[in-house]
Amino acid sequence: IGPDVIDIRKLYGQTGKFTYDPGFLSTASCNSTITYIDGDKGELLYRGYPIEQLAVNCDFLDTCYLLLYGDLPNEGQRKDFHGRVTNHTMVNEQMQFFLRGFRRDAHPMAVLTGLVGALSAFYHDSTDINNAQHREIAAIRLIAKMPTLVSMAYKYSVGQPFMYPRNELSYAGNFMRMMFGTPCEDYKVNPVIERALDRIFILHADHEQNASTSTVRLCGSSGTNPFAAIAAGVACLWGPAHGGANEACLNMLEDIQKMGGVAKVGEFMNQVKDKNSGVRLMGFGHRVYKNYDPRAKLMQETCKEVLLELGLENDPLFKLAMALEKIALEDDYFVARKLYPNVDFYSGIVQRAIGIPVQLFTAIFALARTVGWIAQLNEMIADPEYKIGRPRQLFVGSPRRDVKPLAERG
Ligand code: ACO
Q: Does 40 qualify as catalytic in the annotation?
A: no
What's the residue count for the chain?
A: 410
From the list 59, 206, 293, 344, the catalytic residue is 344
Going by C-alpha positions, the residue among 151, 360, 139 that lies closest to residue 238 is 360
324 and 255 in contact (C-beta within 8 Å)? Answer: no
Judged against a pLDDT cut of 80, whether residue 207 lies above it is answered with yes
Res. 186: pLDDT tops 50: yes
Is it the case that residue 7 has pLDDT exceeding 60? no
Q: From the CA of 189, how far away is ligand 1's center (Å)?
A: 37
3-state SS of the chain is CCHHHHHHHHHCCCCCCCCCCHHHCCCCCCCCCCEEEECCCCEEEECCEEHHHHHHHCCHHHHHHHHHHCCCCCHHHHHHHHHHHHHCCCCCCHHHHHHHCCCCCCCHHHHHHHHHHHHHHHCHHHCCCCCHHHHHHHHHHHHHHHHHHHHHHHHHHHCCCCCCCCCCCCHHHHHHHHHHCCCCCCCCCCHHHHHHHHHHHHHCCCCCCCHHHHHHHHHHCCCCCHHHHHHHHHHHHCCCCCCCHHHHHHHHHHHHHHHCHHHHHHHHHHHHHCHHHCCCCCCECCCCCCCCCHHHHHHHHHHHHHHHHCCCCCCHHHHHHHHHHHHHHHCHHHHHCCCCECCHHHHHHHHHHHCCCHHHHHHHHHHHHHHHHHHHHHHHHHCCCCCCCCCCCCCCCCCCCCCCCHHHCC
pLDDT of amino acid 66: 98
Residue nearest to ligand 1 atom 24, measured at CA: 287
Q: What percentage of the chain exceeds 70 in pLDDT?
A: 96
Q: Is the pLDDT of residue 247 over 90?
A: no
How many Å apart are CA 290 and CA 40, to the nearest integer? Answer: 5
Distance CA 396, CA 123 (A): 44
**Which among 293, 337, 338 is the best mutation to test ligand 1's pocket, defined by most ligand atoms within 8 Å of the CB?**
337
pLDDT at 105: 96
Phi/psi of residue 49, nearest 5 degrees: -90, 130
Burial class (CB in 10 A: 0-12, 13-18, 19+), 49: middle
Residue range 333-389, pLDDT digits in tens: 999 999 999 999 999 999 999 999 999 999 999 999 999 999 999 999 999 989 999
pLDDT over threshold 80, residue 12? no
Please tell me the distance from the alpha carbon of residue 78 to that of residue 62, in angstroms, as a whole number: 7
348 close to ligand 1 (CB < 6 Angstrom): no
Taking 60 as the threshold, does the pLDDT of residue 8 lie above it? no
Residue 336, pLDDT score:
96
- Which mutation among 27, 280, 289, 331 tests ligand 1's pocket best, with the greatest number of atoms within 8 A of CB? 280
pLDDT at position 126, please?
Answer: 87
- What is the per-residue burial (b if ≥16 Cβ within 10 Å, else e) of 174-193? bbbbbbbbeeeeebebbeeb
Catalytic position from the list 59, 62, 286, 293: 286
Q: Phi/psi class of residue 274: alpha, beta or left (left: φ > 0; alpha: ψ in -120 to 50)?
A: beta
> Do strands 43-46 and 49-50 pair parallel, antiparallel, or not at all (unpaired)?
antiparallel
Separation between Cα atoms, residue 209 and residue 198, nearest integer Å:
23
Q: Whose CA is nearest to atom 27 of ligand 1?
A: 287
Residue 286 Cβ inside 6 Å of ligand 1? The answer reads: yes
Q: Write out pLDDT tens, residues 100-115.
A: 999 999 999 999 999 9
pLDDT at 217 over 60: yes
Query: Is 286 a known active-site residue?
Result: yes
Query: In the structure, what pLDDT confidence band is assigned to residue 14 with cuts at 50, 70 and 90?
Result: low
- Cβ–ligand 1 distance for 342 under 6 Å, the answer yes
For a pocket test of ligand 1, which of 339, 346, 347, 365 has the largest count of ligand atoms closer than 8 A to its C-beta?
A: 339
Q: How many C-beta neighbours within 10 Å does residue 122 have?
A: 17
**Which pLDDT belongs to residue 18?**
77
* Res 9 pLDDT > 60: no
Lowest mean pLDDT among 62-76, 302-316, 381-395: 381-395
Q: Is 337 in the pocket of ligand 1 (CB under 6 A)?
A: yes
